Chains A and B, each alone.
Chain A
Amino acid sequence: MLAPMLAFTLRRLAVAIPTLLAIATASFFLMRAAPGGPFDTEADLDPEVLESLYRAYGLDQPLLEQYRIYLANVLKGDFGPSLVYEDFNVTELIAIGLPVSARLGVTAMLLALLFGGTCGIVAALRHNRLFDHATMTMAMTGIAIPSFVTAPILALFFGLYLKLLPVAGWNGGAAANMVLPVIALALPQLAIIARLMRGGMLEVLRANFVRTARAKGLPERQVVINHVLQSAAVPLVGYLGPALAGIMTGSLVIELIFDLPGIGRYFIQGALNRDYPLVMGIVIVYGALIILLNLLSDLAYAALDPRVRRTYR
């Protein structure tokens, strides 16, 4: 069983390389096709200065030549200099921002999975009873309220009013500084996960094989653990992959409100300022993350469902 899974993983990783090159190519040309240039905001630049800037960054070369140089550098792991953050190159910016966002995102997701998953399971087992209605109402609210509302409320209440936690700042990733942003990130995810888990459970609880398990005289607890959970978690897997990629690459809103040095703000700043190398670098990293997480979720599908496992052989 392990050998075919390993082969499957290696095959997928091999395919990832051309995919990433395609992403790099597409983002390169799409960026250039967009109107505007990197130094537009500095309105009254002397044409001569502008020209020397273009030359310094190699932007005076023919487009295809620029593309060739860019790809060659990317293959060496060099995403080039940032045009906006002048003292940094893109690789450095990603190395600063990504760990912050990833750490917040992964923590938030784990939290959401733990609590959302549990709520979903219990709600399904108490179908149409008080707990079910209460959690689903809260889940609807959790999904409906955007984080630019919850985040400031959390900051005001726990930071300014109760003075329990820092209002903002990263502080090298201290636990106290992470609490509020993680909660703000986790809440909507928790709500979605609870709903997905509940839906999956309700679906499976109706299945004939659950009746067979009950007919064996198994207590409900054992029925759920041995016969329901594994199948019920399948819808969750499809959601978690892309959602995790999204949350790990930073949330501009959360990063602005809590003043965090995540990658989300670099991406927005880069895009607004036509910082070609920065945007492309982040897009490629994002693509790599998605590919990786899709692979992980396919492996998770295989772990949950023996029929899927067989198709991977």
Chain B
Amino acid sequence: MSALLEVRDLSVRFNVGDAELNAVRSLSFDVSEGECLGVVGESGAGKSQAFLAALGLLADNARARGSVRYRGREILNAPRRELDALRGRRMAMVFQDPLSGLTPTARIGHQLEESARRHLGMNARQARGKALEMLETVRLPDPRRCLALYPFELSGGMRQRVMIALGMICEPDLLIADEPTTALDVTIQAQILRLLGELQRDANTSIVLITHDLSVAAAFSDRIMILYNGRLVESGTTHEVFRSPKHPYTAGLLASLPSLTIDPASDLPTIPGQPPDAMKSVQGCAFAERCKHAMDRCWSERPVLAAPGAQHAAACHLLSA
């Protein structure tokens, strides 16, 4: 499989007052053609910002460095015109919050048709047909009526489906789904994930699934990438990562998964301590404060990702000890 998206040494920094916040720190990874990659990490780990940077959608106070290549072509900080040809057409994103992600003053139909007309060269009638077809594909009840509705007239789950329809309408090569199920209840969550899976199979779209929920990523993706404090700490096939996690943070996440035998109401084992402050930069391992295996070396020397690009890699001194 060749790489569809190659990210190398990507950093995202925010200017906040006179301080700097490092949201993403020299991150490197690939997304292959047709694969499904799960991106997991706690809130603030830099999951969203890494992909927003790739699409050129960062906030005004952010700066992105490094390299992002789409099919070999550099797109990080590319001119707007070049990005406009890719965004929505080749690479699409389903955003984290479907409540605020749709324009409140425009009808659903219009918001979908806009993409089809822009990228697929359709006329108004064709675009309407395509929009309807997409709403059927994402199984929105009564799709014809929904075309004429405004976002506030839909439920959360329906809006999420509209967002997915919006992402898929031009059959992109890469769909980045940022927490597409977080706000939804469990049944709808499962439906949405199944839908994404079908779309991936039918259109051979690569999917990046961003989630803080390891079990969602496990159920869905071929490969998993774990982010901590803006860095990649472990990556590998879902199978490998689950069978033999290499990084203590991953091991902690796995241990905190509710297993079916435990009463979900009882106390779940969670990783003690707080996620690190993105404003601060530590010299050693960012996880050291919470790591029960921490050694002297961990405080002074940052562990590098062992064998990057290999099937299964992690950034931890335990691996080289």
With known contacts A212-B95, A212-B166, A217–B104 Cβ distance under 8 A: no
Which chain A residues border B85 with CB–CB below 8 Å?
Answer: 217
A interface footprint on B97-121 (CB within 8 Å = 1, 0 otherwise): 1001111111000000011001100
Chain B residues, CB < 8 A from A77: none
A30 at the interface (CB under 8 A from B): no
Closest to B92 in A: A215
In whole angstroms, what is the CA distance A305 to B92 when docked?
Answer: 28
Q: What 1/0 flags go to A195-236 for Cβ under 8 Å of B?
A: 000000000001111011111111110100011001100000
B residues near A230, Cβ cutoff 8 Å: 105
Asked if A307 CB lies within 8 Å of chain B CBs, one says yes
Known: A217-B85, A220-B80, A227-B103. 8 other contacts (CB 8 A): A209-B101, A211-B52, A215-B95, A217-B88, A217-B89, A219-B81, A227-B105, A227-B106
Q: Counting CB contacts under 8 A, is B134 at the interface? A: no
Interface pair B118/A216, CB less than 8 Å apart: yes
Report B22 CB to chain A, min CB distance, Å. 21
Residue A306 at the chain B interface, CB threshold 8 Å: yes
Instruction: Report B79 CB to chain A, min CB distance, Å.
Output: 12
- Of B52, B95, B106, B115, the contact of A217 (CB 8 Å cutoff): B115
Which residue of the partner chain, among B88, B92, B95, B105, contacts A211 with CB atoms under 8 Å? B95
- CB of A283 within 8 A of chain B? no
Known contacts A215-B55, A217-B115, A226-B114; decide if A304 and B87 are in contact (CB<8 Å). Answer: no
Whether B150 contacts A306 by the Cβ 8 Å rule is yes
How many A residues have CB within 8 A of the partner chain? 24
Within 8 Å by CB of A304, from B83, B92, B95, B105, lies B105
B133 within 8 A of A: no
B95 touches A231 (CB 8 A): no
A212 neighbours in B (Cβ, 8 Å): 95, 101-103, 163, 166
B86 an interface residue at 8 Å Cβ cutoff?
Answer: yes
A217 touches B166 (CB 8 A): no
Complex: chain B residue closest to A205, CB-CB: B60
Is the C-beta of B208 less than 8 angstroms from some C-beta in chain A?
no
Do residues B88 and A231 form an inter-chain contact, with CB atoms below 8 A? no
Interface size range on B against A:
20 to 34
A305 B100 Cβ-Cβ under 8 A: no
Across the interface, which residues of A come within 8 angstroms of B57, CB to CB? Answer: 211, 214-215
Asked if A217 and B103 sit within 8 Å, CB to CB, the answer is: no
Which chain B residues have a beta carbon within 8 Å of chain A's beta carbons? 52, 55, 57, 59-60, 80-81, 83-89, 92-93, 95, 97, 100-106, 114-115, 118-119, 150, 152, 163, 166
- Specify which chain B residues have a CB less than 8 angstroms from the CB of A304 in the assembled complex: 105
Bound together, the chains give a CA A3 to CA B55 distance in angstroms of 45
In the complex the two chains form, is A218's CB within 8 Å of B114's CB?
A: yes
Contact A215–B84 (Cβ < 8 Å): no
A97 to B235, CA, bound (A): 79
Known: A216-B166, A307-B152. A208 touches B87 (CB 8 A): no
Is the CB–CB distance between A216 and B95 below 8 Å? no
Of residues 64 through 106 on chain A, the ones whose CB sits less than 8 Å from some CB of chain B are none
B88 touching A216, Cβ below 8 Å:
yes
Across the interface, A307 reaches (CB within 8 A) one of B83, B87, B88, B150, namely B150
Chain A residues near B106: list those with CB within 8 A.
226-227
Note all chain B residues with C-beta closer than 8 A to A218: 84, 88, 114, 118
B152 & A217 in contact (Cβ 8 Å cutoff): no
Shortest Cβ distance from B100 into A: residue? A208
* B58 shortest CB reach to chain A, Å: 10
Q: State in angstroms the CA–CA spacing of A217 and B92 once bound together.
A: 9
Closest to B83 in A: A217
- In the complex, A206→B93 CA distance in Å? 17
Query: Are B114 and A306 within 8 A (Cβ)?
Result: no
Tell me, in angstroms, the Cα distance from A211 to B58 when the chains sit together.
9
Report B-chain residues with C-beta under 8 Å of the C-beta of A209: 100-104
Using Cβ atoms and an 8 Å threshold, which residues of chain A touch B95? 208, 211-212, 215
A215 and B150 contact, CB distance less than 8 A: no
Tell whether A217 pairs with B105 under 8 Å between CB atoms, given A207-B100, A209-B100: no
- Which are the 9 A-B pairs with shortest beta-carbon distances? A217-B88, A217-B87, A216-B88, A208-B100, A306-B150, A209-B103, A230-B105, A217-B84, A227-B103
B83–A231 touching, CB < 8 Å: no
Contact status of A231 and B102, CB under 8 A, knowing A211-B95, A216-B166: no
- Asked whether A215 and B87 contact (CB < 8 A) given A220-B80, A230-B105, A305-B105, the answer is yes
**Residue of chain B at shortest CB distance from A128:** B60
Contact B115 A216 (CB under 8 A): yes
Contact of B118 among A206, A207, A208, A217 (CB under 8 A): A217
Known: A306-B150, A307-B152. A214 touches B87 (CB 8 A): yes
Q: How far is the CA of A207 from the CA of B102 in the complex (A)?
A: 10
Q: How many Å lie between the Cα of A307 and that of B106 in the bound state?
A: 11
Asked if B92 and A306 make an inter-chain contact with CB atoms under 8 angstroms apart, the answer reads no
Which residues of chain A (275-307) have a CB below 8 Å from chain B? Answer: 304-307
A231–B80 CA distance with the chains assembled, in angstroms? 24
Write the A153-187 contact mask toward B (1 if CB under 8 angstroms, else 0). Answer: 00000000000000000000000000000000000
